[in-house]
């Protein structure tokens, strides 16, 4: 994949923080194997001391906060620990669902090989879920995680039988446009590709307090793959 220009990703910047719109398929931090590019490396080409205050899954796009100095990092890390940061995600889920602030309260434990599962003796996990737009066979959902467990939104939506499109790890099948568009033609000798090549989850909004206590809310526009998915689901519903 072509690496983005870090400056083009910036949604907000002051003396202490940078908030970027993380593209999909780019890890936040170094992965266990290999020296693949990641957000932190890109950021440190311009700011030596920058640190990631939280992380998004590699496939997840959206608002990601970075601290430019140790004081800023401590300040925001404490807000995350005390659950004072508001995070709002948008997800395209399978099925038609009508939720109005539904509270999902199901504990989560991590398992081996980068997976997690719902478990009675796991760590407490709470997500609020609201319907934004229902379509013919899918729903655009707003998810607000109150806690920050691994794969929390993905697991909680799977629990609701509303798995995320493309999230094959947790029961969300890939989406093919031919299932909606009646006159969809694949070129001879070619195989239809999934419409979105990742799970359809985007960190749409982030709210936290700056060092002086002033709250700041940053909204992250959809990347092209997520935006076009939503546009097509609207068009063919």
57 classed as catalytic: yes
Residue pair 195/230 in contact (Cβ under 8 Å)? The answer is no
CA 66 from chain centre, in angstroms, equals 16
Percent of the chain exceeding pLDDT 70 equals 97
Among residues 30, 48, 49, 57, the one annotated as catalytic is 57
Domains of the chain: 6-235 (3.30.2350.10)
**What's the chain's average pLDDT?**
94
Q: Is the per-residue pLDDT at 106 higher than 90?
A: yes
- Whether residue 188 is predicted with pLDDT greater than 80 in this model: the reply is no
In terms of C-beta density within 10 A (0-12 exposed, 13-18 middle, 19 or more buried), how is residue 89 classed?
buried
86: exposed, middle or buried (Cβ count in 10 Å: 0-12, 13-18, 19+): middle
Could you report the per-residue pLDDT of 205-223, keeping only the tens digit for each?
999 999 999 999 999 999 9
Task: Name the residue with higher pLDDT: 114 or 124.
Answer: 124
pTM, two decimal places: 0.94
What does the alpha-carbon distance between residue 118 and residue 109 come to, in Å, rounded to a whole number? 6
Q: What is the pLDDT of residue 171?
A: 97
């Amino acid at each position: 994949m072509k690496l983005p220009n870090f400056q083009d990703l910036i949604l907000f910047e002051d003396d202490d923080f940078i908030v970027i719109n993380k593209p999909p398929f780019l890890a936040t931090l170094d992965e266990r194997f290999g020296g693949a590019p990641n957000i932190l490396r890109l950021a440190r080409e311009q700011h030596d001391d920058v640190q990631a205050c939280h992380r998004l899954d590699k496939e997840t796009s959206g608002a990601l906060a970075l601290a430019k100095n140790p004081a800023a990092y401590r300040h925001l890390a404490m807000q995350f620990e005390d659950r004072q940061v508001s995070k709002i995600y948008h997800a395209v889920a399978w099925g038609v669902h009508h939720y109005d602030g539904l509270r999902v309260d199901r504990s989560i434990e991590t398992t081996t090989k980068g997976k997690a599962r719902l478990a009675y003796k796991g760590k407490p996990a709470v997500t609020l879920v609201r319907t934004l737009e229902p379509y013919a066979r899918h729903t655009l959902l707003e998810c607000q995680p109150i806690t920050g467990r691994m794969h929390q939104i993905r697991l909680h939506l799977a629990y609701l039988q509303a798995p995320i499109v493309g999230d094959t790890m947790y029961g969300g099948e890939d989406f093919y446009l031919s299932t909606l568009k009646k006159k969809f033609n694949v070129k001879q000798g070619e195989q239809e590709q999934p419409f979105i090549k990742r799970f359809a989850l985007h960190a749409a909004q982030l709210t936290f307090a700056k060092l002086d206590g002033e709250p700041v809310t940053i909204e992250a526009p959809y990347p092209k793959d997520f935006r076009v998915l939503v546009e097509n689901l609207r068009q063919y519903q």
